[in-house]
Structure 1
Amino acid sequence: MDHLVDGVDVIVTVPPGSRRPDALLAAVSAAHPDWNCRPVWAGDPQLRPKLVGGQRWLDASVDEADLLRVDPDGLPWLAALTAIGSIERPTIVISCGAAVLGELTSLVPADGEIVVVPKLLDPPVNDGTLHPSLEVLAEDGAVSASVAAFGRGSDAAAAWIRESLLVPTRLEHAVAAGRVLELAAELFPSRRCLDDRIGASVWRWPDDNPVLLDLPNFDSERFWLADPTLDGRPRVTLGVPARMGTINRAADQLAGATEPLRLPGGIEIDKAIRRIARHHRALPARPWSDAAAFRRWLDEQYWEDLHWSRGDLQAIFPHHTGSDADRFSAWAQRAAADGDAPLMVDPGVLRSSSSVVQTGARRDGVNLVGYFKHQSGVSNVGRRVAGIFDRHGIPYTTVAYERTWSPPIVPEPETDQRIEFADSLAFVNGDQFNHLRNDIPQMFGPGRQVVGMWSWELETIEGATPVGYQHADQIWGTTTFMADPFRHLPVQVEHVHVPFTEPTPSTRRRTEFAPLADADDRFVFGVVLDHLSITERKNPVAAVRAFRRAFPTADATGSGPMLVVKTINAERCWEDHERLLVEASGRSDIVIWNELLPIADHVALIGSFDALVSLHRSEGVGLHLAEAMWLERPIIATNYSGNLDFMDAESALLVDVDMVPVGPGLAPYPADALWAAPRLDDAAAAMRRLVTEPDLAASVGAAARRKMLSMPGEAEFVARVVDLLHLDR
């Protein structure tokens, strides 16, 4: 480097929200004691927080109207470049959301140049499965929007960047800050920082220890994700011990969160408000200093602008200031209360069901309606019932219902798509029954009876998504745990045990499953789950933590116990899967395997485990547990919920629990409902016992199979169905 690094200014920009600059400023000063570090506030001018340790804010003096015009990612740059003024010394701008862990010398610019940090240094994988996708580069720019540097005399470049962020009023959308910086690097003297330790992010992460992290969306509440806003499986996983160690070292700098800029009174500045501000060169009042006057003006402009910007509103309310004024006003009031959503769109419709025809109303059989073409717990019950009816001569038809995200079965099974009988068993949960009534009306009507075979995994439905009980003549729960929450409803509720037919595994051997190929004689604990069944409910993290407690270090000889966590739908629930990878990182004896297997292979895999572990918070049934019991696999399971209908202390190692609130963000379950937290020390002790006491594993497995043989069988189930539906026999 042919330029001096003394006398460098560092501007730390602080966006609106709870992020604070103190730790980042201290980290820069520790790496470069001679550099001059100052923070600048890029949020609500009336809510600028106080600083600690004698620090003082650099005055940005941003025009209030400009705060409204710039997009959120441009706010820090607007504030920083306004505050800098004339660039008389090398100046590095870093936004909170970055973290400094070492020297930044490679960022220091020469006179007259700007320095940008590329998001990518090598050609990336482009198979369409990793996120961020490459399309993001075209929209947001190929350089970081969290850090850049300006050499002495680069005032023209800085001024151009500032003006470009504000956007000429004729443009509908602002240009992203990263794209503006990238364009500036093309138009003005510049250098790209090629030090791979600078700019560790969701795009790239160096093998060596990074010295600058670029994680603007990091959320310490979900520390296992570099960016929880991504749309799918990340390019950079934190499920590597060294990376998680780096995150831990930077934790104080990454604390807090960026929040939307708001007007006085709490109104979020959304795209419509920014668009209005851009379209008016001079606002009639200052948004914060003259809040009341500005709000009166905004009220007049907002809904007019929204109508102008949305084709669906124009189609529904073509004369919104004339004959449609009252209807548009009513819609606006609802939108303000409930949140805006596009009109003429039904977000609940995921797939359309194939056409269903009504061919009769016979009383000697049953229509079976459910997710027969998809893999899920509910659809498995439907397939089990169909098999039982086959073996016992009960006439039936099958109707596939398609309103589900569950993965399809390959090859796709055939269904009748015919309503031939007066009675229908619907293997569709209660929160979907209103949709079912509209999607397949042929099931319903005078002289017909619909039974909902409903699954639910909590002790109450209070506070949950309303169920369409008014469309059900009866509700059946396949365990007492699942039937009890519905007993207060004004409809007949029954516990109807559906027998666990002995499963038939494929001929696939233990060594033919990738995670077990080299397992040899190691004792293998297995966990199986579908992420779409609510990962937190299935609670695989608890199994990983219990295994770590039971066996604190991996066996150096490669002959100790293993834990295999088999999942499906990781790509759709990538945040949960990433957390699982982080929990398992650093342990070669813990394998996370996401793979969709044919049903017979899935059963064979369960039979290949030496023990199955289910530290669930709640289970409606737990079909995988019953399958393992048929196969004489010992089970470690939570001593709570539906599995206790077919499991006791002799046939399984049950783990006691503490009841805890579900907590927020786990729809459809209410946050204040309760479920189980299995005691991990007890689970770990059970794991150690199975490994060290072979006779225990054998005896528990044998007792498990005896328990399955003692359960009510198919004949009892058929007799109960005939009795409850009054079928002609």
Structure 2
Amino acid sequence: MPIEERERCILGRNHDGKELSTISITFEPAAMSLQAPSVTALRFPPILWHAPLRDPTGYAEEARHFLFALHAYGAPIAAREIRWNDRVAGVPPHQEQLLQQLLLKPPHPRSVYVLHILGSHLRPAPDARASIGRTMFETDRLPPGWAEACNRMDAVWVPSAFNRETFAFAGVKPEKLRVVPGLIDLDQYNPQGSPLALPSDHGFHFLAVFDWSLRKGWDVLIAAFVEEFRPDEDVALLLRVHSSLGYTVPQIYAQIENFLVKELGRDPARIPDILLLDKSLSASELLALYRAADCYVLPTRGEGWGRPFMEAMAMERPTIATGWSGMTAFMNAENSLLIDYTLQEVSEKAAAEIPTFRGHRWAEPSCAHLRQLMRRVFEDRQFGKELGAKARAYLETYFSPAAVVEILHRELLPFVEG
């Protein structure tokens, strides 16, 4: 099945193929397809990209990749920064220098304005040639106010057909929705090199990198890991976490222990090793962490895009993810391992944690299937190695700067004057 057709089926069916909803929305096939790049000389309008450019989040990392790629291909682009919090990403020095230049560059008075932010904050710029929103969301619908904000923009760029369908279902005008996937510069992701020194001497490490919340499925991951592997097996689970919800490290430890004891009935002293890594990492240290891992795994309940999955694949790590939502734009049965799931209403516990999700549906990953996938990668190291190589090759073909800049050019070309 072509990529665009496979993605369009995701919202309406579960992993067994049973229909869960009936949504009929017509989109232009050309706006949803992925093709190998054929970038030659490109003409762009002047662009002002407004985003959280220094934040250590997927939004910011994606925005930096867009910004640098457009600059590299000759687009007349300037940048302005949104500050969400005081956290700052460990950007390499040469990128920080370029970022500073683009932030200081005066924008053209008639620029195409790209506001890269949560959908509720989208606002058109009054003097812009056009106002474009770049946003995404993780569940089967949108929070109140998002559709209205999106409809005020001239266009809304979403990363995948998954969000094109969910946004339209929520009331965003279909003609405004355009699929512009995230990109990754593989030159920055070298699988070869030194791994990060870990506080573990185990022979196999599973890794998950995420913002601590129930949406990320940490409970399913821990359950699958401790139920599948014995304490005497040569394996550990590495959790590289931060918390935008404000959980402290002791609170995260307490949640894990409470889950193990009360939900699983397990003695925390008699399980395979789970290591929590909470210190800040530079860009080079994060790459070294991926090198130290043997498999990347996260049974998330929903993603707008899922950039850490993409980073792990770029580092040639076999990658396990739930088979629903944004990351299925670049993950498939040929390049990764997708966990079975059912669509369920967001639990009250998760809605209490993030009230925005109350009344929505998302994926509930199968713990039993996740156990099988983790065991397979653990037992068959050659299979994992080959899968990781396929993953990187797929990204290079369809999500390189050249491939995605061509899509950006197609979307921006109508705003070139003269």
Q: How does 1:408-423 map to 2 (within 5 A)?
A: 408-409=88-89, 414=100, 415-416=103-104, 418-420=106-108, 421-423=110-112
Distance between the aligned counterparts of 1:486 and 1:570, measured in 2?
A: 24
Q: Which moved more, 1:472-481 or 1:404-413?
A: 404-413
Distance between the aligned counterparts of 1:718 and 1:454, measured in 2?
A: 18
Correspondent of 1:489 among 172, 175, 179: 172
Q: Which moved more, 1:718-727 or 1:624-633?
A: 718-727
Correspondent of 2:340 among 649, 652, 656: 656
The CA deviation at 1:452 is 0.6
Q: Which amino acid aligns with 2:405?
A: V
**How many residues of Structure 1 are paired with residues of Structure 2 in the alignment?**
348
Change (3 A) 1:481 1:678: same
Q: 1:548 aligned to 2:226?
A: yes
Distance between the aligned counterparts of 2:332 and 2:128, measured in 1?
A: 43
CA shift digits 1:268-324 (9 cap, x unpaired) = xxxxxxxxxxxxxxxxxxxxxxxxxxxxxxxxxxxxxxxxxxxxxxxxxxxxxxxxx
Q: 3-state DSSP class of the match of 1:373?
A: coil
1:638 corresponds to: 322
Q: In proportion to residue count, which structure has more helix?
A: 2
Q: Which runs of 5+ in 1 are unaligned?
A: 1-361, 438-442
The CA deviation at 1:405 is 3.4
The CA deviation at 1:654 is 1.3
CA shift digits 1:478-535 (9 cap, x unpaired) = 111122222232461111123222133599733x43xx24425x1100011023xxx1
Preserved CA contact (<8 Å) 2:130 2:415: no
Distance between the aligned counterparts of 1:588 and 1:571, measured in 2?
A: 28
Change (3 A) 1:715 1:687: closer
Change (3 A) 1:429 1:479: same
Q: Which amino acid aligns with 2:85?
A: W
1:100 corresponds to: none
Correspondent of 1:429 among 95, 118, 136: 118
Q: 1:395 aligned to 2:70?
A: no
Q: 1:472 aligned to 2:153?
A: yes
Change (3 A) 1:560 1:454: same
CA shift digits 1:352-404 (9 cap, x unpaired) = xxxxxxxxxx97321111001211111111101012112211111110012x2
Q: Which amino acid aligns with 1:702?
A: A
2:21 corresponds to: none
Distance between the aligned counterparts of 2:282 and 2:316, measured in 1?
A: 21
Q: 1:714 aligned to 2:397?
A: no
TM-score (norm 2): 0.76
Q: 3-state DSSP class of the match of 2:371?
A: helix
Q: 1:568 aligned to 2:251?
A: no
Distance between the aligned counterparts of 1:518 and 1:724, measured in 2?
A: 48
Preserved CA contact (<8 Å) 1:634 1:698: yes
1:170 corresponds to: none
Preserved CA contact (<8 Å) 1:464 1:670: no
Preserved CA contact (<8 Å) 2:112 2:131: yes
Correspondent of 2:369 among 656, 659, 682: 682
Q: How does 1:278-677 map to 2 (within 5 A)?
A: 364-402=45-83, 404-405=84-85, 407-409=87-89, 414=100, 415-416=103-104, 418-420=106-108, 421-433=110-122, 437=123, 444-446=125-127, 448-461=129-142, 463=144, 468-487=149-168, 488-490=171-173, 492-502=176-186, 503-504=188-189, 509-510=194-195, 512-513=196-197, 516-519=198-201, 522-531=203-212, 535-551=213-229, 553-555=230-232, 560-569=234-243, 572-574=246-248, 575=251, 578-583=254-259, 585-586=268-269, 587=271, 589-663=273-347, 664-667=351-354, 669-677=356-364
The CA deviation at 1:570 is 7.5
Distance between the aligned counterparts of 1:382 and 1:564, measured in 2?
A: 27
Distance between the aligned counterparts of 1:367 and 1:410, measured in 2?
A: 24
Q: Which amino acid aligns with 1:548?
A: V
Distance between the aligned counterparts of 2:219 and 2:357, measured in 1?
A: 21
Q: 1:723 aligned to 2:410?
A: yes
Distance between the aligned counterparts of 2:63 and 2:244, measured in 1?
A: 25
Change (3 A) 1:500 1:485: same
CA shift digits 1:31-90 (9 cap, x unpaired) = xxxxxxxxxxxxxxxxxxxxxxxxxxxxxxxxxxxxxxxxxxxxxxxxxxxxxxxxxxxx
> What is the Cα-based RMSD across aligned positions, in Å?
2.7
Q: How does 1:63-142 map to 2 (within 5 A)?
A: none
TM-score (norm 1): 0.45
Q: Which amino acid aligns with 1:667?
A: I
Q: Which runs of 5+ in 2 are unaligned?
A: 1-42, 261-267
